Structure 1
Amino acid sequence: MTTQTGQPGGAATGRATLKDVAHRAGVSVPTVSRVIAGNYPVASATRRRVEKALRELDYVANTHARALRGHGAQTVAFVLKDVRGPSFAEVAHGIEEEASRRGRLCLVCVSGGDPARELEAVHLMRQQGAEAVILIGSVRDDEPYRRQMSAIARSLHQSGSRLVLCGRPAPGDSVPATVVEYDNEGGAHAITSRLLAAGHRRVLFFGGDAELTTSAERLAGYRRALSDFGVPFDAALVEKVPFDRGEAYLSMRARLHRDRDFTGVFALTDAVAAGALRALAEAGLSVPRDVSLVGFDDVPPATDLRPQLTTVHVPYEEMGRTAVRLALDRRGDGPGVPEQHVLLGTHVVVRESVAPPPKAD
């Protein structure tokens, strides 16, 4: 019997075995075991051949993971930037619900936004035999990102797992990954249009980093709405702000000290909107009488703010459930063959934070 690597002795999934590595390196199976364990002398040249074969075959050695699989413990892994983010929490809840419904355990890893830590978490989850590894969070959609995601996807696929990207771009058409996105640009276009339809012509784009995919897509929607309403784009009305309530407060306070050259604010998240609202209130400005304010996400604090926030609803829980469903169903754990790439819709939720701009004195 041969594996997908073309070597004898492997499993039908394509997961490399000790025999595969031994055959590739031209040594015995016990020698491979000694190199992996690192507790027995092995000649340097032999060790290098074995280590090269391990890398080439992408061999996973994890006794604990094999024991877990033998006892039927099945897991889904979720790697995110920060567990405190409301949108991430909503996705995590959807993942956990769907995983639990299908009899899986849900493992959560936090990367802190560090790509190296994210990669370490992926490798760990692969070693633990997770059926799916779900990544979420904005990225720079460049060639290094696509190469890394392609390598991760193929490595997981070879081990019988599945890479799922939530709210991230697909690394390529031929890459064995599942992508679940939401209509970021469409939501930004709709919420900006809400302000423009109310009469605002100076709308501050507040939050995010245009080099990252989430912010870039929302900026594209904002600019498209301006174009549709015949309003020229003004780069001076784009304020780069981290997706953090405290940072948003400080940035809006600094902006107001310089100049209030806007009548409306499109905050890129509800948390950013909350920070902006605090700074506006401290400056003696009323929302929406003096300044209209909108957000994006429709998670707390959208309904806790006063006034309640007009914002874009993102189906984060559904995104989490969809991620698990697609990953597992593609592996034969359910009826039918789902799509590899899903785009979920967004919509504006109208509340109390938008009004026509104040009339000039």
Structure 2
Amino acid sequence: MAVTLADVAARAHVSAATVSRVLSGNYPVAEDTRARVLRAVDELDYVVNGPASALAAATSDLVGVLVNDVADPFFGIIASAVQSELGAGKLPVVCNTGGSPERELTYLTLLLRQRAAAVVITGSAVEGGTGEGGADGEHAEAVAARIRRLAANGTRVVLCGRPAAFAPPGTALTLEFDNTGGARALTEHLIALGHRRIGYVAGPADRTTTRHRLDGHRAALAAHGLDGDAGRLTVHGPYDRGSGHAGALELLRREPELTAIVGANDTVALGVGAALRERGLSVPGDVSVAGFDDLPFSADMLPSLTTVALPLQEAGARAARLALGLEAAPAGGAAVLPYELRIRQSTGPRRS
């Protein structure tokens, strides 16, 4: 017998109307209630029959693109490239999660309900500790369950910038960025310029991208015996300008003799530069500054920003082709895209 809305409501100990609100995504529902409903949907393997129920065995022309923040140029470039590559034959729907694990699960459930032809999931995954949606291990399992169901229904799933380990084997294709290698090359560049006291403004501690970039940074420090103060000279925050500004001030408080600061991304580095100017310090005369991603504004900063360029446009376009089945899957179902170190005017030799 097919699982009904009432079955889900009984399992989640809520009303059928509440289940409907959660699945529609159009009404406010308490986060713990939403989590219980979505867990019951997974446990019962429930899929809503919409108006197109007669076509349940088929997929629609809809392609979902999950992004952390569409206003962030990193995600905007990827989403734009996906949409351009899809052309007029498919309907791209950009789902802005705002970094919320619960919203990510909700959008995946809605895309499953709509029998999406493909889903492209961009950005890093949550790992370790506890998050908004409960234990992050539970969130990873819930995402994996939805990816498994999407794939079983004929939906092509592509992870773009998210590690392959976060999807069940054989359910998704993966395009990863070499965040660790790029971060190591960036810090090696600063060390080659004579810098020994290097601060790092990292992203949120529970994100895979944060960990991979921090791993690369610390690997470079360790290779030169400079990792003794790595923990003290690292601060965490969001991937935004405010985090860079606050992080730079905190690092200078901890170590006034810093000669270089690395931002987790270019937007963070922008905030770092602003904080240094407020303190009367010049870039790179007093402190060198570097970023990551090579976002469009990076070359136009004053001074222009040294950064690690990631092929965001290429990644988005390739993700779309994989989602449409227009490009052969990479060997083993996953590919690591190369980075390029862009050395500009924001980094220079250590001050004497």
Q: Same fold (TM over 0.5)?
A: yes
Question: Which residue is equivalent to 2:118?
Answer: 132
Instruction: Indicate whether 1:221 and 2:216 are aligned.
Output: yes
Alpha-carbon deviation of 1:228? 2.1
Question: Which residue is equivalent to 1:303?
Answer: 299
Question: Which residue is equivalent to 2:149?
Answer: 155
Alpha-carbon deviation of 1:232? 3.0
* Matching of residues 262-301 of structure 1 within 5 Å: 262-301=258-297
Structure 2 unmatched ranges of 5 or more: 4-15, 20-39, 129-136
Counterpart of 1:312 (choices 308, 313, 320) is 308
Question: Which residue is equivalent to 1:21?
Answer: 2
Distance in 1 of aligned mates of 2:96 and 2:260: 35
Q: Tell which deviates more after alignment, 287-296 or 247-256.
A: 247-256
* AA of the residue aligned to 1:275: G
Question: Which residue is equivalent to 2:346?
Answer: 353
Structure 1 unmatched ranges of 5 or more: 1-19, 23-34, 39-51
CA contact (8 A) 1:132 1:327 kept: yes
Question: Which residue is equivalent to 1:5?
Answer: none
Q: Tell which deviates more after alignment, 145-154 or 199-208.
A: 145-154
Alpha-carbon deviation of 1:153? 1.3
SS in 1 for 2:66: strand
Alpha-carbon deviation of 1:350? 1.1
* AA of the residue aligned to 2:213: R
Percent identity between matched residues is 36
Distance in 1 of aligned mates of 2:152 and 2:54: 16
Question: Which residue is equivalent to 1:32?
Answer: none
Instruction: Indicate whether 1:183 and 2:164 are aligned.
Output: no
* AA of the residue aligned to 2:345: E
Distance in 2 of aligned mates of 1:302 and 1:194: 18
Distance in 2 of aligned mates of 1:335 and 1:118: 27
RMSD: 2.8
Distance in 1 of aligned mates of 2:216 and 2:254: 27
TM (norm. structure 2) is 0.79
Alpha-carbon deviation of 1:149? 2.7
TM (norm. structure 1) is 0.78
Distance in 1 of aligned mates of 2:161 and 2:42: 33
CA contact (8 A) 1:270 1:300 kept: no
1:133-186 C-alpha deviation (Å, 9 max, x unpaired): 122232233543442232011110122112322222222562512221110000
Distance in 1 of aligned mates of 2:232 and 2:43: 50
Alpha-carbon deviation of 1:113? 1.2
CA contact (8 A) 1:77 1:133 kept: yes
* AA of the residue aligned to 1:344: L
Instruction: Indicate whether 1:342 and 2:332 are aligned.
Output: no
CA contact (8 A) 1:226 1:232 kept: yes
Structure of higher CA gyration radius: 1
Counterpart of 1:122 (choices 108, 121, 145) is 108
